Copies of this chain bind each other. A is one copy, B any other.
Protein backbone atom coordinates (compact mmCIF):
# COMPACT_ATOMS: atom_id res chain seq x y z
CA UNK A 1 0.00 0.00 0.00
CA UNK A 2 2.44 2.63 -1.20
CA UNK A 3 1.64 6.33 -0.90
CA UNK A 4 2.79 8.53 -3.81
CA UNK A 5 3.30 11.42 -1.38
CA UNK A 6 6.25 9.52 0.11
CA UNK A 7 9.72 9.45 -1.43
CA UNK A 8 10.99 6.64 0.78
CA UNK A 9 10.68 3.34 -1.08
CA UNK A 10 7.99 0.91 -0.07
CA UNK A 11 10.37 -1.76 1.23
CA UNK A 12 11.90 0.78 3.60
CA UNK A 13 8.44 1.96 4.71
CA UNK A 14 7.56 -1.63 5.55
CA UNK A 15 10.88 -2.36 7.26
CA UNK A 16 10.77 0.70 9.49
CA UNK A 17 7.06 1.20 10.17
CA UNK A 18 4.33 -0.68 8.34
CA UNK A 19 5.53 -4.25 8.87
CA UNK A 20 7.62 -3.56 11.97
CA UNK A 21 6.28 -4.54 15.36
CA UNK A 22 7.37 -4.44 18.97
CA UNK A 23 8.77 -7.90 19.69
CA UNK A 24 8.36 -9.83 22.92
CA UNK A 25 10.17 -13.03 21.86
CA UNK A 26 13.43 -13.39 19.98
CA UNK A 27 15.45 -16.00 18.15
CA UNK A 28 18.66 -17.06 19.94
CA UNK A 29 20.82 -15.43 17.25
CA UNK A 30 23.22 -13.00 18.96
CA UNK A 31 23.29 -9.26 18.32
CA UNK A 32 26.85 -8.07 17.80
CA UNK A 33 28.54 -4.86 18.86
CA UNK A 34 29.11 -4.23 15.14
CA UNK A 35 25.35 -4.23 14.54
CA UNK A 36 24.79 -1.78 17.38
CA UNK A 37 27.60 0.40 16.14
CA UNK A 38 26.03 0.50 12.66
CA UNK A 39 22.69 1.47 14.19
CA UNK A 40 24.25 4.22 16.28
CA UNK A 41 26.36 5.56 13.42
CA UNK A 42 23.16 5.93 11.39
CA UNK A 43 20.82 7.46 13.96
CA UNK A 44 23.34 9.72 15.70
CA UNK A 45 22.52 12.28 13.01
CA UNK A 46 18.94 12.71 14.18
CA UNK A 47 18.45 16.25 15.48
CA UNK A 48 18.05 17.25 19.12
CA UNK A 49 17.55 20.67 20.71
CA UNK A 50 20.86 22.53 20.43
CA UNK A 51 22.46 19.20 19.41
CA UNK A 52 22.52 18.23 23.07
CA UNK A 53 22.22 14.45 22.33
CA UNK A 54 21.66 13.39 25.94
CA UNK A 55 20.88 9.70 25.24
CA UNK A 56 23.26 7.18 26.77
CA UNK A 57 23.06 3.42 26.26
CA UNK A 58 24.16 0.55 28.48
CA UNK A 59 24.34 -2.82 26.71
CA UNK A 60 23.59 -5.56 29.21
CA UNK A 61 25.66 -8.55 28.06
CA UNK A 62 27.00 -10.41 31.09
CA UNK A 63 24.82 -12.88 32.98
CA UNK A 64 25.60 -11.03 36.18
CA UNK A 65 24.47 -7.65 34.81
CA UNK A 66 21.34 -9.22 33.33
CA UNK A 67 20.38 -10.59 36.75
CA UNK A 68 20.97 -7.19 38.32
CA UNK A 69 18.69 -5.60 35.72
CA UNK A 70 15.93 -8.19 35.81
CA UNK A 71 15.66 -7.79 39.58
CA UNK A 72 14.22 -4.32 38.89
CA UNK A 73 11.95 -5.27 35.98
CA UNK A 74 8.21 -5.71 36.45
CA UNK A 75 7.16 -9.35 36.73
CA UNK A 76 5.67 -9.37 33.25
CA UNK A 77 8.98 -8.24 31.75
CA UNK A 78 11.40 -10.54 33.61
CA UNK A 79 11.24 -13.71 31.50
CA UNK A 80 11.47 -11.99 28.13
CA UNK A 81 14.34 -9.81 29.32
CA UNK A 82 16.23 -12.84 30.61
CA UNK A 83 15.70 -14.59 27.26
CA UNK A 84 16.51 -11.71 24.87
CA UNK A 85 19.82 -11.90 22.94
CA UNK A 86 20.61 -8.33 23.96
CA UNK A 87 19.08 -5.81 26.31
CA UNK A 88 19.88 -2.10 26.29
CA UNK A 89 19.24 0.36 29.08
CA UNK A 90 18.46 3.79 27.61
CA UNK A 91 19.19 6.70 29.90
CA UNK A 92 19.09 10.48 29.85
CA UNK A 93 22.38 12.05 30.91
CA UNK A 94 21.62 14.99 33.20
CA UNK A 95 25.19 16.19 32.83
CA UNK A 96 25.00 16.43 29.03
CA UNK A 97 25.89 20.10 29.27
CA UNK A 98 29.52 19.20 29.91
CA UNK A 99 29.76 18.09 26.26
CA UNK A 100 28.13 21.21 24.79
CA UNK A 101 31.31 23.19 24.13
CA UNK A 102 32.38 20.35 21.82
CA UNK A 103 28.91 19.56 20.40
CA UNK A 104 27.84 23.16 19.77
CA UNK A 105 31.03 24.98 18.81
CA UNK A 106 29.03 27.77 17.12
CA UNK A 107 27.46 28.82 20.47
CA UNK A 108 30.32 28.92 23.00
CA UNK A 109 28.25 30.23 25.91
CA UNK A 110 25.38 27.76 25.57
CA UNK A 111 26.32 25.56 28.52
CA UNK A 112 26.05 28.36 31.04
CA UNK A 113 23.46 30.49 29.23
CA UNK A 114 20.73 27.84 29.19
CA UNK A 115 21.79 24.75 31.08
CA UNK A 116 23.34 25.88 34.33
CA UNK A 117 20.41 24.61 36.40
CA UNK A 118 20.09 20.88 37.03
CA UNK A 119 16.29 21.11 36.95
CA UNK A 120 16.37 22.57 33.43
CA UNK A 121 18.81 19.89 32.33
CA UNK A 122 16.64 17.10 33.70
CA UNK A 123 13.60 18.18 31.71
CA UNK A 124 15.57 18.83 28.55
CA UNK A 125 17.56 15.59 28.79
CA UNK A 126 14.45 13.47 29.33
CA UNK A 127 12.63 14.93 26.32
CA UNK A 128 15.60 14.87 23.99
CA UNK A 129 16.67 11.38 25.03
CA UNK A 130 13.12 10.21 24.25
CA UNK A 131 13.40 11.90 20.86
CA UNK A 132 16.65 10.03 20.25
CA UNK A 133 14.97 6.82 21.38
CA UNK A 134 12.58 7.30 18.46
CA UNK A 135 15.50 7.46 16.06
CA UNK A 136 17.14 4.47 17.74
CA UNK A 137 14.07 2.24 17.35
CA UNK A 138 13.98 3.17 13.67
CA UNK A 139 17.69 2.34 13.46
CA UNK A 140 17.30 -1.04 15.15
CA UNK A 141 14.73 -1.90 12.51
CA UNK A 142 17.04 -0.55 9.79
CA UNK A 143 19.49 -3.27 10.88
CA UNK A 144 16.83 -5.95 10.32
CA UNK A 145 16.34 -6.38 14.05
CA UNK A 146 13.27 -6.05 16.21
CA UNK A 147 12.98 -3.86 19.30
CA UNK A 148 10.98 -4.61 22.40
CA UNK A 149 10.91 -1.36 24.39
CA UNK A 150 9.62 -1.59 27.95
CA UNK A 151 8.76 0.89 30.69
CA UNK A 152 7.61 -1.63 33.28
CA UNK A 153 10.40 -1.46 35.89
CA UNK A 154 11.49 0.23 39.09
CA UNK A 155 13.20 3.25 37.59
CA UNK A 156 14.78 4.40 40.85
CA UNK A 157 16.14 0.89 41.37
CA UNK A 158 17.72 0.76 37.90
CA UNK A 159 19.17 4.24 38.32
CA UNK A 160 20.76 3.31 41.63
CA UNK A 161 22.05 -0.03 40.33
CA UNK A 162 23.52 1.14 37.03
CA UNK A 163 24.09 4.87 37.53
CA UNK A 164 25.15 5.19 41.17
CA UNK A 165 26.66 8.62 40.57
CA UNK A 166 23.13 10.00 40.24
CA UNK A 167 23.59 11.77 36.93
CA UNK A 168 21.60 9.50 34.61
CA UNK A 169 17.99 8.34 34.63
CA UNK A 170 16.55 5.38 32.72
CA UNK A 171 13.91 6.24 30.10
CA UNK A 172 13.38 2.75 28.67
CA UNK A 173 14.80 -0.75 28.60
CA UNK A 174 14.82 -2.34 25.15
CA UNK A 175 15.19 -5.98 24.22
CA UNK A 176 16.83 -6.37 20.82
CA UNK A 177 17.15 -9.32 18.47
CA UNK A 178 15.69 -11.15 15.54
CA UNK A 179 12.02 -11.89 16.20
CA UNK A 180 11.30 -15.42 17.39
CA UNK A 181 8.19 -17.55 17.19
CA UNK A 182 5.09 -15.71 18.32
CA UNK A 183 7.15 -12.54 18.74
CA UNK A 184 4.30 -10.24 17.81
CA UNK A 185 0.95 -9.49 19.32
CA UNK A 186 -1.79 -8.24 16.98
CA UNK A 187 -1.30 -4.59 16.09
CA UNK A 188 -3.25 -2.35 18.47
CA UNK A 189 -5.41 0.41 16.93
CA UNK A 190 -3.95 3.81 16.12
CA UNK A 191 -5.64 7.20 16.16
CA UNK A 192 -6.74 8.50 12.76
CA UNK A 193 -5.09 11.52 11.19
CA UNK A 194 -8.15 13.65 11.83
CA UNK A 195 -8.11 12.79 15.52
CA UNK A 196 -4.50 13.86 15.92
CA UNK A 197 -4.06 16.72 13.46
CA UNK A 198 -6.01 19.98 13.48
CA UNK A 199 -5.51 22.99 11.23
CA UNK A 200 -5.76 26.63 12.28
Nearest-neighbour CB distance to chain B for A135, whole angstroms, equals 5
Nearest-neighbour CB distance to chain B for A17, whole angstroms, equals 5
Q: Does A82 contact B (CB under 8 A)?
A: no
**Interface size class of chain A, counting residues whose CB lies under 8 Å from the partner chain:** 35 or more
> Chain B contacts of A17 at CB under 8 A?
42-43, 45-46, 135, 139
Other-chain contact of A9, B12, B56, B58 (Cβ < 8 Å): B12
> Chain B contacts of A49 at CB under 8 A?
149, 151, 172
Q: Is the CB of B6 within 8 A of A20?
A: no
Q: Does A5 contact B (CB under 8 A)?
A: yes
Which chain A residues in 30-45 approach chain B with CB under 8 Å? Answer: 32-45
Q: Is the CB of A7 within 8 A of B143?
A: yes
Give 1 or 0 for each of A101-143: 1 = CB within 8 Å of chain B CB: 0111110000000000000000000111011111101110111
Q: Is the CB of B3 within 8 A of A8?
A: no
Which chain A residues in 131-177 approach chain B with CB under 8 Å? Answer: 131-135, 137-139, 141-144, 147, 149, 151, 162, 171-172
Nearest-neighbour CB distance to chain B for A126, whole angstroms, equals 6
Give 1 or 0 for each of A43-65: 1 = CB within 8 Å of chain B CB: 11111011101011111111001
Interface residues of A (CB under 8 A from B): 3, 5-9, 11-13, 15-18, 20, 22, 32-47, 49-51, 53, 55-62, 65, 99, 102-106, 126-128, 130-135, 137-139, 141-144, 147, 149, 151, 162, 171-172, 185, 187-191, 193, 196-200
Extra 13 A-B pairs, beta carbons < 8 Å, given A51-B190, A127-B130:
A3-B38, A3-B41, A3-B42, A5-B143, A6-B38, A6-B42, A18-B42, A40-B197, A45-B187, A57-B196, A128-B130, A134-B134, A162-B200
